[in-house]
Amino acid sequence: MTDTATAARPKIVIIGAGFGGLAAAREFAGKPVDVTLIDKRNYHLFQPLLYQVATADLSPADIAWPIRSIFRDAANIRVVLGKVTGIDEASQSVETSEGPVPYDHLIIANGAGNAYFGHDDWPVHAPGLKTVVDATTVRRNILLAFERAETAADEAERHRQLTFVIIGGGPTGVEMAGAIAELARVALARDFRQIDPRAANVVLVEGGPRILPALSDDLSAYARQALEKLGVEVHTGTMVENIDAEGVTVGGARIPAATVIWGAGVGVHGTAEWLDTKPERGGRIAVGADLTLPDHPEIRVIGDAAAVAWPQGPGENATVPGIAPAAKQEGKYVAKAILATISGKPSKPFKYRHAGNLATIGRHSAVVDLDRFKLTGWPAWWFWGLAHIYFLIGVRAASLVLLQWFWTYLTRRKGARLITGVTTEAHPVRESETKR
Ligand SMILES: Cc1cc2nc3c(=O)[nH]c(=O)nc-3n(C[C@H](O)[C@H](O)[C@H](O)COP(=O)(O)OP(=O)(O)OC[C@H]3O[C@@H](n4cnc5c(N)ncnc54)[C@H](O)[C@@H]3O)c2cc1C
């Protein structure tokens, strides 16, 4: 796969066209380097809005863009659809399903997937929310549960079908819980004859002492109250003990539930094996202050796949959080650092600028925790919406399309209430894209 015409220019390979990889590739556009951007998917996915696909607010195509079209005008960036399977550090080559790709500088930005803490039987019963397939599987499970409740033979089964358990009280769990509660209480409220969707039980289970632990105590308490106002049952300090086809066992209690959603664990898959190194917690790869690997100044790891020290962060040994702005900052930084290295200039260590944390709670509320101010309720929701539009514009320039998205969201047009795949299985089936 080597292009002999440009063999003299430095070869940069980027693994992953997520937030980090995309930001890096953009910096290289038009520069005197040849970039190969490898991704196992042909699209960049805006993960923060996956929960809206899972709850039928948006279609997958609303939050995913073909990587090729993003770099249409960047002649020095080649996009390869292929799965990375290994890295040969000695010969400086990335092994992919499409053959080897040589590099002078390598940026690893392959992100994170779901982690089930060794419970290999749980993913099939409790899909996570990391990919489009995850989101459409969850959407299917949720919508099927209402359908099955409508035709359930007895009250116990109806109750089980109308019980939705979300494991994990981080932003994904909180956003999912709020969105399912609103789906049941507003969008579906008048669509059924035998059941009242408003009677759905939405249960959020968090092992730690409070939900949204990355936010301040008062915002976390606010979020809990706001969820409870929407009818969500919130259990904190409660560990999940088992998940099977019939429901979950949490904190010693059995909850019969047809739909269980996993938002509790994040893990980096494959990267440590590729580099033959011992990973940090969650499979992340420890990098130095310049985001390079020890002993390998030509290899950089960024985004969710990297464990980057954050001296200004909360607590001892804090690391940069696994959020999109961090991946973007790191992507930009490593691209600039590589260009500096190529032209023989020094570069400063990476310094993370933390903008804050935000999470929505249904359509009318959110919590925003920024350095300078905090917001709750409706103003926070607007802040969240505008922040996401700003972010989305970074991916796709067509602002009219973005405004349309916002309008769709505001007007509650649940345009994506489709159950795809088999609808006659006894239990929702799951395609397994998250097993990377
Ligand atoms: C449901 C959800 C909600 C979130 N909400 C927010 C939010 O509101 N705000 C926020 O800031 N952050 C949020 N995040 C976190 C944010 O999405 C991540 O921090 C960010 O995507 C990390 O960027 P990345 O570039 O490291 O990885 P990713 O964006 O995950 O990209 C990794 C890329 O690598 C590719 N890849 C992986 N393995 C291979 C392989 N073997 N071969 C080839 N390609 C490969 C993948 O296909 C993918 O395109 C959310 C995440 C999720 C899952």
Higher pLDDT, 9 or 427: 9
Mean pLDDT value of segment 290-312: 96
How far apart (Å, rounded) are the C-alpha atoms in residues 308 and 232? 35
- CA-CA-CA-CA torsion sign (346, 349, 352, 353): negative
Calculate how far, in angstroms, residue 51's C-alpha sits from the geometric centre of ligand 1. 14
**Each residue's pLDDT tens digit, 230-289:** 999 999 999 999 999 999 999 999 999 999 999 998 999 999 999 999 999 999 999 999
Ligand 1 atom nearest to CA at 41: 47
pLDDT tens-digit series, residues 15-48: 999 999 999 999 999 999 999 999 999 999 999 9
Contact (Cβ atoms closer than 8 angstroms) between residue 101 and residue 296: no
Residue 238: HSE in the Cβ half-sphere, 13 Å Cα cutoff: 23
Percent of the chain exceeding pLDDT 70 equals: 89
Q: Which atom of ligand 1 is nearest to the CA of 359?
A: 8
| Best residue for ligand 1 mutational test, from 22, 37, 38, 47 (most atoms within 8 Å of Cβ) | 47
Residue type, 256: P
The reply to whether ligand 1 has any atom less than 6 angstroms from the CB of 84 is yes
CA of 173 to the centre of ligand 1 (A): 16
| Nearest CA-CA partner of 402 in 410, 411, 394, 393 | 393
Q: What is the pLDDT of residue 389?
A: 74
- Please work out whether the CB of residue 384 comes within 6 Å of at least one atom of ligand 1: no
Structure confidence by residue, pLDDT tens digits, 197-225: 999 999 999 999 999 999 999 999 999 99
Task: Count the residues in the chain.
Answer: 436
Q: b or e along 68-87 (b: 16 or more beta carbons within 10 Å of the residue's beta carbon)?
A: eebbeebebbbbbbbebeeb
pLDDT at site 432: 42
With 0-12 / 13-18 / 19 or more C-beta atoms within 10 angstroms meaning exposed / middle / buried, residue 318 is: middle
Say if ligand 1 is within 6 A of residue 123 CB: no
Nearest CA to ligand 1 atom 8: 48
The pLDDT-based confidence of 434 (bands split at 50, 70, 90) is very low
Domains and CATH numbers, the chain: 3-40+82-112+268-342 (3.50.50.60), 132-264+363-434 (3.50.50.100)
Q: What is the CA radius of gyration of the chain?
A: 22
**CB of 127 closer than 6 angstroms to any ligand 1 atom:** no
408-423 residue pLDDT tens: 666 665 657 778 776 5
Active site residues: 175
Q: What is the pLDDT of residue 428?
A: 47
Q: Cα of 241 to ligand 1 centre, how many Å? A: 28
> Structure tokens of 224?
């809990």
Q: Please say if the pLDDT value at position 320 is more than 60.
A: yes
Q: Could you give the count of Cα atoms lying within 13 Å of 311 in the half-sphere of its Cβ?
A: 5
Q: Which atom of ligand 1 is nearest to the CA of 322?
A: 19
Cβ atoms of 101 and 6 closer than 8 Å? no
Would you say the CB of residue 40 lies under 6 angstroms from ligand 1? yes
Is 39 a pocket residue for ligand 1 (Cβ < 6 Å)?
A: yes
Sign (positive or negative) of CA dihedral 400, 404, 409, 411: positive
159 C-alpha to center of ligand 1: Å?
Answer: 35
Q: What is the pLDDT of residues 105-116, one digit of tens each?
A: 999 999 999 999
Confidence label for 431 from pLDDT (cuts 50, 70 and 90): very low
Is residue 111 lining ligand 1, measured as CB closer than 6 Å?
yes
Mutate to test the pocket of ligand 1, among 15, 22, 323 (most ligand atoms within 8 A of CB): 323
What does the pLDDT look like over 169-184, one tens digit per residue?
Answer: 999 999 999 999 999 9
User: Does 408 or 119 have the greater pLDDT score?
Assistant: 119
Return the number of other C-beta atoms located less than 10 Å from residue 407's C-beta: 10
User: Cβ neighbours of residue 26 under 8 Å, at least 6 residues apart?
Assistant: 331, 332, 335
Q: Whole-model pTM?
A: 0.93
Does the Cβ of 263 fall within 6 Å of ligand 1? no
Tell how far the Cα of 196 is from the centroid of ligand 1, in angstroms: 37
Q: Which two tokens stand for residue 230?
A: 């929407």
List, edge to edge, every strand of the sheet that includes 253-256: 240-244, 247-250, 253-256
Return d(Cα 208, Cα 219) in angstroms, integer.
16
Mean pLDDT of 77-98: 98
Which protein residue's CA is at the shortest distance from atom 12 of ligand 1?
Answer: 323
Please give the number of the atom of ligand 1 that sits closest to the Cα of 85: 41
Span 96-104, average pLDDT = 98
Quote the ligand 1 centre to 356 CA distance (angstroms).
18
Residue 312, sorted as left (phi over 0), alpha (psi -120 to 50) or beta, turns out to be alpha
Contact 277, 285 (CB under 8 A): yes
- Give distance in angstroms: CA of 37 to centre of ligand 1: 15
Whether 16 is in the pocket of ligand 1, judged by its Cβ within 6 Å, is yes
Ligand 1 neighbourhood includes 50 CB (under 6 angstroms): yes
**Residue 322 in tokens:** 């696994």
Residue 270 beta carbon below 6 angstroms from any ligand 1 atom: yes
* Protein residue with least CA distance to atom 33, ligand 1: 16
Specify the pLDDT at position 433.
39
Q: What is the 3-class SS of the chain, one letter each residue?
A: CCCHHHCCCCEEEEECCCHHHHHHHHHHCCCCCEEEEEECCCEEECHHHHHHHHCCCCCHHHHEEEHHHHCCCCCCEEEEECCEEEEECCCCEEEECCEEEECCEEEECCCCEECCCCCCCCCCCCCCCCCHHHHHHHHHHHHHHHHHHHCCCCHHHHHHHCEEEEECCCHHHHHHHHHHHHHHHHHCCCCCCCCCHHHCEEEEECCCCCCCCCCCHHHHHHHHHHHHHCCEEEECCCCEEEEECCEEEECCEEEECCEEEECCCEECCCHHHHHCCCCCHHHCEECCCCCEECCEEEEEECHHHEECECCCCCCCCCECCCCHHHHHHHHHHHHHHHHHHHCCCCCCCCCCCCCEEEEEECCCEEEEEECCCEEEHHHHHHHHHHHHHHHHHHHCCCHHHHHHHHHHHHCCCCCCCCCCCCCCCCCCCCCCCCCC
Model pLDDT for residues 135-144, shown as the tens digit of each residue: 999 999 999 9
Q: In this structure, what token pair is assigned to residue 6?
A: 């440009």
Residue 17 CA, closest ligand 1 atom number: 49
Q: How many CA atoms lie within 13 A of 70 on its CB side?
A: 26
Residue closest via CA to ligand 1's atom 3 equals: 48
